Structure 1
Amino acid sequence: MSKPYQTIPIEDCQEPLIPIPTTEFSFCSPHPYAQLGAPYGDTSPFCLREGVLQRLQTAQNYLQQKHPHWRIQIFDAYRPIAVQQFMVDHTFTETAKANGLHPDSMTPSQRQEIQAQVEKFWAPPSHNPATPPPHSTGAAVDITLANESDEPLNLGSPIDEISPRSAPDYFAASTSPPESHYHQLRFLLREVMLAAEFQQHPAEWWHFSFGDQLWAWLTNQKSPANSTVARYGRVEKSL
């Protein structure tokens, strides 16, 4: 299934893919997809395009103006296409099982329904240079907040959950104190990231990007007079 943002032209600025400094941010460790067996080879998942990293550093500065001892925790960043394929396949299998289905004995309609659930959250592992998955451009990052003890805060649902709870504003109208707190933390995360020029995935509270097709499409959606194009296309590089 194609995504609406995949029609956005890409004019790659050729910025390098560089490691995220381990001394500056908090990291989810061990890396969740590598632990599952995703085929990274010698490529690090903890890297971004240079301009994206600079803006992530800006976002962390904004965060620490509000909470001096908190940090942005990196869950995932760069993904080679092979990793995207592995994770889409893994998520399809796990989502089928969660719905009481076996991937090898599903009807076409059941398979279509599970695929639709997966594709709401996971971009197709396209090898077409005109339609790269956001994470394969080095422009997208999955993050949460970590406190002064370097522990991830509870923002109301796990990263990658295939659920309505993953929507950024899911808890916005809740009067429950814990759920109101989740919303406050999600709002804070979005506030500092948007202040650093990122855009947020409409269905995922944890996913932000700068310079990819999704970022450009969201930028144009907010200001229809714009004709912003993507700055980053697919990148394949071992670090």
Structure 2
Amino acid sequence: MIAGVLMTLGVTGYGQTKIGAFERKFIDRGLVDVQKLDPTLKVELKYSTTDNFIKEDVYGDLERAYLQPMAAEKLVKANKFLKQEKPNYTLLVYDGARPRSVTKIFWKRMSHLPYNRREDFVADPARGSIHNFGCAVDLTIADEKGQPLDMGTIFDFFGELAEPRREAAMLKAGKLTKQQLENRKLLRRVMIKAGYTSIQTEWWHYNAMSRERAKATYGFIE
């Protein structure tokens, strides 16, 4: 009874933490806070800061990363696999579920580009990003000091250096070091082992299922 009243008032647990509009959407749709499944996961939502490609905070008071339960369970497995290889490392989540309203903001900000180039950087809201269904995660690996490993580029870097499909060429050209590539491979290895799939244009992005299946199963989070 008390828990229900607290939820109605936008309060959780004993910390009197207010639940914002985005977080309420996620909870109402059955998504889960990934850190409740695995408290060792680190979260730094880049779109709750200005440290992102549009240099705007579009998430406001959202601080926790949410995913569909299936995707969250796979993430927990990936973190377990990482710790089996590197006990002092942990996954660091930059983004999880993302309302389609935010994807519309991203799409508008890139309106100066031709359509085909625009889709290289952001999803067309009409089709949706897999983030919009709660089935994709952006992340990296943090070391024993909590610092992100060097992956060769920052998160949200729009250029060839961020593309897994060009890693061999970038290594050969001296634009990517062996250690940077090994760090990416470590991330890729544990995520794929846990059931995620990578994409060829962003080293940080992983999908728990296809866009078509996610849309049919869950529908858009608006």
Q: TM-score range by the shorter chain?
A: 0.7 to 0.9
Deviation at 1:24, TM superposition (A): 2.3
Q: Which of these residues, 70, 95, 104, is aligned with residue 76 of structure 1?
A: 95
Per-residue CA deviations over 1:47-68 (Å, capped at 9, x if unaligned) read 0000100000000111111100
Match of 1:152 in 2: 148
Match of 2:23 in 1: none
Per-residue CA deviations over 1:168-216 (Å, capped at 9, x if unaligned) read 14333525596111111111111111101111122111100112327x6
Query: Where does 1:40-119 land on structure 2 (aligned, <5 Å)?
Result: 40=59, 46-90=65-109, 92=110, 103=112, 111-112=113-114, 115-119=115-119
The 1:48/1:147 distance shift into structure 2, 3 A limit, reads: same
Match of 2:219 in 1: 233
Match of 2:52 in 1: none
The 1:24/1:153 distance shift into structure 2, 3 A limit, reads: same
Q: Percent identity?
A: 27
Aligned equivalents of 2:138, 2:97: Cα separation in 1: 10
Q: Does 1 or 2 have the higher relative contact order (CA < 8 Å, sep 6+)? A: 1
Match of 1:182 in 2: 180
Q: Is the 8 A contact 1:171 1:180 kept in 2?
A: no
Aligned equivalents of 1:209, 1:171: Cα separation in 2: 20
Aligned equivalents of 1:116, 1:83: Cα separation in 2: 20
Give the secondary structure class of the aligned counterpart of 1:24: coil
The 1:41/1:179 distance shift into structure 2, 3 A limit, reads: closer
Output the TM-score relative to the length of structure 2: 0.73
Aligned equivalents of 1:205, 1:59: Cα separation in 2: 16
Q: Is the 8 A contact 1:137 1:212 kept in 2?
A: no
Q: Is the 8 A contact 1:200 1:208 kept in 2?
A: yes
Q: Is the 8 A contact 2:136 2:206 kept in 1?
A: yes
Question: Which ranges of 4 or more aligned residues in structure 1 deviate by more than 4 Å?
Answer: 41-45, 175-178
The 1:118/1:63 distance shift into structure 2, 3 A limit, reads: same
Mind listing any 5+ residue stretches in structure 2 that lack a counterpart? Answer: 1-28, 50-55
- Give the residue type in structure 1 aligned to 2:46: P
Match of 1:206 in 2: 204
- Give the residue type in structure 2 aligned to 1:189: L
Mind listing any 5+ residue stretches in structure 1 that lack a counterpart? Answer: 1-14, 94-102, 104-110, 218-228
Q: Is the 8 A contact 2:95 2:139 kept in 1?
A: yes
- Give the residue type in structure 1 aligned to 2:40: E
Output the TM-score relative to the length of structure 1: 0.68
Aligned equivalents of 1:71, 1:155: Cα separation in 2: 15
Match of 1:32 in 2: 46
Match of 1:123 in 2: 123
C-alpha RMSD over aligned residues: 2.7
Aligned equivalents of 1:70, 1:230: Cα separation in 2: 35
